[in-house]
Chain A
Amino acid sequence: MRVRIGRVGWRGLALLAATGAVGVILGVHGWSARSTGLPAGSLASGSPQAAAPSASAAPHASSSPSQPASRRHGPLLSSQPYAKAAYQVWPGRMSAAARLALTGLKVSVHRRGSGISVTAGVIGQASPAPRLYPQGARVYVVETSTGDDSGNTDYNLGDDGLVVTTAQGSIVQ
């Protein structure tokens, strides 16, 4: 079999060069925005965390089994770019969209003491230790695209996250 590679020509080269330049500009923009967008408490690492604006502000698990640690309140969830992709898991009955967003994930919330215990992980992986949050907290799962979900598998955990907010909607850090 012989594959013939054609000559691109100056017009083709110019168009490819222009596209390459546009791609570099878009890539620089994407690189600078890599830490924004989804909450830092990504499920990709297998450890549930409350959402935080930066990785360095990510909280540590509460050491007390019954008392939720006091946490700082961050910005409103509604002010975050991923707000429209956040689906409430707790309290109340989950919507169909929330159930769909949970594909491949396992999130469980239980009342414990004066707060709630949240466990979030990936199906097929070991469950991480639960985290405690104050009473009234709301739990959301973030799924920016369900196009990577199939059956009971989420192929791309990079676009998933877990967010816990106060009753007023401020993200718990």
Chain B
Amino acid sequence: MAESASALAAEWAPVAARVLLGLVLAWFGYHELVQPSLWTGYVPVLSATSDLAVILVLAHGWVLLLLAVALVAAIAPRTAAAVSAVLLLEIVISLTVTGGLSDLTLRDVGVLGLAICLTGIPQQRLLLTRHEAQGPHGPRR
């Protein structure tokens, strides 16, 4: 019983992690795209009221949306997770420089950890990508 539960968790936990990380990125990506002016305060160096800051937020939101779909639909999930990890690392560094370590920053460190973990899981269920799905026992769908 315990073994089968463990096997089930090992099999499906990465899927849950992938979908949940994708939902986080989708939420932020969507809101950055539809209301970019509310997010410009996060852009370092630039004035929050500048058009360039709005453009950067829109670009960031667009990338987040793509990564979210890639993770949820499992399109090259390890690559998507790796790119997400880089983006999250940039966010963590930016927040730390801006306001130091805080509950908010450390929450993002946790999400960064999730993204890093996903880059290291070669075999996952519900994959849309053929190549990454192939483990020692062949493709898994």
Contacts and interface: CB of A to CB of B under 8 A. Distances in A.
Interface of A: 3-9, 11-12, 15-16, 19-20, 22-24, 26-27, 29-31, 33-35, 37-38, 42, 44-45, 55, 144-145, 147-151, 153, 155-160
B: contact size bracket: 35 or more
Given A7-B129, A8-B76, A148-B42, 15 more contacts: A4-B122, A6-B78, A6-B129, A7-B130, A12-B70, A12-B128, A23-B61, A27-B36, A27-B62, A30-B54, A34-B51, A37-B35, A153-B100, A158-B39, A158-B42
Contact of A23 (B39, B62, B75): B62
Contacts of B62: 20, 23-24, 27
Contacts of B131: 4, 6-7
B66 A19 contact: yes
Interface stretch (B4-12, B13-21, B26-34, B109-117): B26-34
Interface of B: 29-30, 32-42, 47-49, 51, 54-55, 58, 61-62, 65-66, 69-70, 73, 75-76, 78-79, 82, 95, 98-100, 102-105, 119, 122, 128-133
Contacts of B32: 30
26 contacts: A3-B78, A3-B79, A4-B122, A4-B131, A5-B79, A7-B129, A7-B130, A12-B70, A12-B128, A15-B69, A16-B66, A23-B66, A26-B61, A30-B35, A31-B55, A34-B37, A34-B51, A35-B37, A38-B37, A151-B102, A155-B98, A155-B99, A156-B39, A158-B38, A158-B40, A159-B38
Contacts of A19: 65-66, 69
A9 B38 CA distance: 36
A23 B129 contact: no
Contacts of B100: 153
Contacts of B41: 44, 148, 155-160
B33 A27 contact: yes
Contacts of B128: 8-9, 11-12, 15
B130 A3 contact: no
Nearest to B129: A6
Contact of A6 (B33, B47, B79): B79
A159 B37 CA distance: 8
Nearest to B55: A31
Contact of B38 (A4, A8, A144): A144
A12 B76 CA distance: 9
A8 B70 CA distance: 10
A31 B51 CA distance: 9
A30 B132 CA distance: 35
A150 B102 contact: yes
Contacts of A42: 48-49
